[in-house]
Structure 1
């Protein structure tokens, strides 16, 4: 058991070293990475498509990486914004790792990009444990997912710098209990900003872009207080982070950066 634990800690330590190096390199070239996490079907792609389009209209140099186990559907949608987009196919791996992102930054990311949005694999377990080198971590939750989502996934919500509630236009129809959701978020991440959004009626449009631009301009981000409860399974460990917080990691398996393929969708 100790050998398995040591291996998991070694994998995470290697990932975190790579993430910190990438964060510093991106800062040197004037790029802020935004890591978007959510469950499948939360409306992450729809929101990001809108934000990329708004950035293009405002003349903000942006790009996007979108990760999925299969298909290029999300990249095709995001490319309609006119922003440079690359689809990362993980071939079954349930999360991105810093080495995967680095390969695209080195080989593809256009010079002068101010904001790099990374749409992580739809999953609130594995992606939450991996630092990609982002400066802003955003977690999305739709009103259809249940008010106790933050309590069920404390690592994902506990490390967020910003929480977006999506599909708010149907909150009344599905009986979304907003006070209960806000209380759950506050329990795992006191003080984090929570914003309502709706891609259908435009509620919250531009909030993600504005927060990312503020970080690019040098604004400090919210410093999460990590939840005291570990994720559902596996061994957890804590370590310090450049962002100024400690967090637990859970690893059902070891990922391999070599198991990815990518497809450009730049128009």
Structure 2
């Protein structure tokens, strides 16, 4: 059995106090950890504790499926399950693989996880899309009536677009060319570290990417996610693009919350 941890949710009391009975279950598959939990679908808060198991190595479909089954079993959850993958997912099939084993490419993820969970309904979607859904419904974008673009700044740049709460799945703005370079090569947090840029220096590159996106889409809000968003005060004030930019508010629960929400709405199946 894989090593697992149960982490206290800071929002547990709020979820319990709400008295909501609309609950879902989400699992966020990442390169270092597979995390899952019960979600209050009225508030977006986790109910109880988050379960995390280290991502098996190699992170093959069969190994991840076994880990997912273990998380669901530990939680005692018996209903539908939503899952994220760091991959483009169309019609339930993984088309790419980022930070997981390349054998995922072409895998019918819905069929795989459904079989691992004894045939229960499952929904599988891209991890940035799940985070975008969560932030749009419950987080930094919840009061915006228009186009919200979430960008996750990490090793690469993940993206999600929502218009009035409706997701356009599997966008890949991290691979968009900006002034002769891929956006994520220019403005990911990994690029910041690689070039040893200050936050102010890095913000110039982020501004270039945001300006290119807003010239194409004219969004109403950018939501900045990824670990570097926790230090938003050090770089967001230096941005020069025209569209407002705010830090993501759900942080490391966004994938779980978005997956649970997607399972309810059947996005990604």
Higher relative contact order at CA 8 Å, sep ≥6: structure 1 or structure 2? 1
Instruction: Tell me if both proteins adopt one fold, taking TM over 0.5 as the criterion.
Output: no
TM-score by length of 2: 0.28
The TM-score, its normalising length taken from structure 1, stands at 0.28
Structure ranking higher in strand proportion? 2
